[in-house]
Every structure is written in structure tokens, then in C-alpha cells.
Amino acid sequence: MVDLRDTWFVRDVEIPTRLVLAPMAGVSVQAFRRQGRRFGAGLVCSEMVSCAGIEHRNERTLGYLRIASDEHPLAIQLFGSEAQTMAEAARMVEAAGADIVDLNFGCPVKKVTKTGAGATLLDDPDRAARIVSAIAEAVDLPVTVKLRRGLRDGSRDCLVVGPRLVDAGAACLTLHPRSAQQMYTGTADHALTAELVSLVDVPVIASGDVTSRARAQAVLATTGASAVMVGRGAQGNPWVLREIVDGDGAEPTREEVVAELVLFVRETVRELGERRAAGFLKKFYGWYLGRGRFPRPFKQELVQLATLAEVEERLLAAAPGAADVLARLREETPAADHTTLDLPVSIYAGG
Ligand SMILES: Cc1cc2nc3c(=O)[nH]c(=O)nc-3n(C[C@H](O)[C@H](O)[C@H](O)COP(=O)(O)O)c2cc1C
């Protein structure tokens, strides 16, 4: 059985556990990534940032990516369609201090695919390989690629494109074995992940439907992947990461849930500013408060409050002991220093 606490390498970057936190547009802010590291993710990844911003500066954006010194190892994910622009963006990622440049060849969202970026690259292995080799030449960091199985249902294109990308210089591949057409329906077919592992001599990360330690162990054992990636399962639930890595399946107390959520709110306000954070955070209330036996109307109440200060007040009133847990957490997690990467975080979700 694979030990989730084993270290492994993406080229020369040491990853301390076999659990990777997924890039998720509209979710993977700095607070999410730092929390993921704290709960056992060995590698975290930014949501996709747009290379188009370099040329046009008109990408609709959620803001600019900030990197904290305690996130490392950190991958920053780029999406784009043009090799030279992407290479320039990759140099900026390197200068900003990331450990890995990850490329998004999996986003199924129309706004992205219609520009020739994301999953469309799976249909054009030559262009995909040209992009990887241009970036591998431009930076010293390892270049990794995240892909879907192909564009259409039943596609096995990842088995053709994947090895081409490795030949072009990719140091690791992540496979989410759904088609772009599938979006998030059906299930991730990790039999394909096993086939990809057998075809390449770089590590492969298995992404899709990993939500428990049992599932993580099964996917690692049956595919030969070097690590599993967890996405939706970790939304508002960092405790699942601890369960996966350490087998500690203890349900968090109401106090712990509130303390983590309040810390998340504060960090997100620091990153996005009060106005943008208020909208961004709404979806997280429901995600977090699924644990701790909070009454349903409580979540709706939070969403309707006018300010985040009121949200915090209501949360702490619902679990008075949370203030002590929060104080401890803040001691262990000092406010992050940060570097800003001058590339826009895209509003277009997907992968
Ligand atoms: C809201 C959301 C946003 C996502 N954004 C990205 C992204 O920016 N880049 C990417 O490569 N994948 C993205 N993905 C895909 C995830 O990284 C992951 O591959 C997928 O959700 C399957 O894993 P899961 O079953 O653990 O969620 C996104 C998924 C979701 C649900």
C-alpha cells in the first residue's frame, strides 16, 4: 500500500506528501492554498491565470495572483493559446517565485476553448507540444501539464497527447479522465490514468472523484500514479485532506469549523479586498457549514448580511468557544507576506 506521507519529486522539486490540492478557478485563493498545505497537501496550485493579460490587459479579472512564502511548493497554472506569450508569462511566474509552472490543457469552458486555450489543445498535439517546448526552454522551473481525457466522450486522446508533451519537456502530467464534453458529469475513468502511467516516464497525478483515504489508496494502487489530486472534496472541507493523508477521520467540532471559516474570511478579505471578497465568499458558507450541525436557515442568514464583520460576529456567536481556537490558529498561521504576480486571475472557471 502506498504511504500518502511519502515524498516524491517533480524533477528536482520535492513534494512532501502524495496529496495535491487541485487548481479551481473561483476557489483556489491564497487562503485555500495555505489552508491546504496546513492540512496535509504536499503541493498546491493556483487557479488558472490568463496569459492574454500580457497583451491585452482587458481580461475580465478577479484580481492579480498573490503568493505567500509559506505556500511552497506551489505550482502556478497558466492558460493561453500562443507559445511565445505563454513563455513570457512563464518567465513572470518564475520571477514571482513559484516552484512549478503548470499549463491548463483541460478547461472545458467555452469562453476559454474558443480562444484556442484549455481543452482544445488536446485536439492539436503539435501546437500543444510546441507550447510545452517553448515554455520549457524559457524557464528553469519544471513545466507540468494538466489535461482531460480528450474533447469528446470516450476520447482516448490524452494517451497520444500526453507522451508527446513529455517528449516536449513536461516534467509531470495531471490527468482528469473526463472528457471536456462531460464537464463534471459521469465519473473519472482512472483506467485511463493507469494507461497513461504506463506510457510515460514522468510522474502522473490522478485527478477526479478522490474524496476519501480509501479512494485515494485505491486510485494510487490501481493506477501507479505518483499522487492524487483533490478538488471539490476539499471545498469548505480541509479536514478531508487530513483524513486522506493521515487517516484521521475525526469530524471537526462546531468551534473548529467556525474558526477555520473566520480565518478564511479574514485572509480572503486581505487578498481580494472587502467588496470582492463578500461576493466570492458566499458559496463557502454553505460548504463549511455542512459540518458542525448548523441549522439550515443560519447559512441563508449569513449570505444576506451586509458586511463581513457581521458575518464574523454571527459565526462567533454561534460557537462561542471558536474564539480560542481562532486565537491559536492565528498564532500558528501568521499573516502571510506576499509577492504579486502581474497576471490576471481569470473569472472563467474550469478544468
Ligand atoms: C469550480 C472549479 C474550478 C476549476 N478550475 C480549474 C482550473 O482553474 N484549472 C484546472 O486545471 N482545473 C480546474 N478545475 C478542475 C479540478 O482541478 C479537478 O481536475 C476536477 O474538479 C476533478 O477533481 P475533483 O473530482 O476532485 O473535483 C476546476 C474544477 C472546479 C469544480
For residues 233-245, average pLDDT: 98
Backbone conformation region of residue 263, classed left if phi is above 0, alpha if psi is from -120 to 50, else beta: alpha
Give per-residue pLDDT as tens, 60-77.
Answer: 555 678 888 889 999 999
Which position among 45, 51, 107, 172 bears the catalytic label? 107
Query: For ligand 1, atom 2, which residue shows the shortest CA distance?
Result: 24
Report the distance separating Cα 13 and Cα 42, nearest Å.
Answer: 11
Peptide bond before 73: cis, by omega within 30 degrees of 0?
A: yes
Q: Which residue type occupies 304?
A: Q
Helix (H, G, I), strand (E, B) or coil at 315: helix
pLDDT at 223: 98
Q: Is 102 in the pocket of ligand 1 (CB under 6 A)?
A: no
Report CA(33)–ligand 1 centroid distance (Å).
14
pLDDT at 50: 85
Report the distance separating Cα 172 and Cα 202, nearest Å.
Answer: 5
Asked about 51 being catalytic, the answer comes back as: no
Give per-residue pLDDT as tens, 172-220.
Answer: 999 999 999 999 999 999 999 999 999 999 999 999 999 999 999 999 9
pLDDT at 350: 47
Of 172, 238, 228, residue with least CA distance to 201: 172
Q: Is the per-residue pLDDT at 124 higher than 90?
A: yes
Instruction: Count the Cβ atoms, other than its own, within 10 Å of residue 220.
Output: 22
For 80, 147, 202, the CA distances from 169, given in Å and listed in that order, are 18, 15, 10
pTM attached to this predicted model: 0.96
Q: Is 252 in the pocket of ligand 1 (CB under 6 A)?
A: no
Report the distance separating Cα 168 and Cα 86, nearest Å.
Answer: 15
Tell me the H-state helices in 29-172: 30-38, 52-55, 83-95, 110-113, 125-138, 158-167
Q: Is 254 in the pocket of ligand 1 (CB under 6 A)?
A: no
Of 294, 265, 320, residue with least CA distance to 32: 265
pLDDT at 296: 86
Q: Is the per-residue pLDDT at 339 higher than 50?
A: yes
DSSP calls for 205-252:
EEESS--SHHHHHHHHHHH--SEEEE-GGGTT-THHHHHHHH---PPP
β strands within the chain, DSSP E: 8-10, 13-15, 19-21, 43-50, 61-68, 74-79, 100-105, 143-150, 172-179, 204-207, 227-230, 338-346
Which residues, in sequence order, are CB contacts of 304 under 8 Å at separation 6+?
A: none
Report the distance separating Cα 114 and Cα 135, nearest Å.
Answer: 22
Report CA(134)–ligand 1 centroid distance (Å).
25
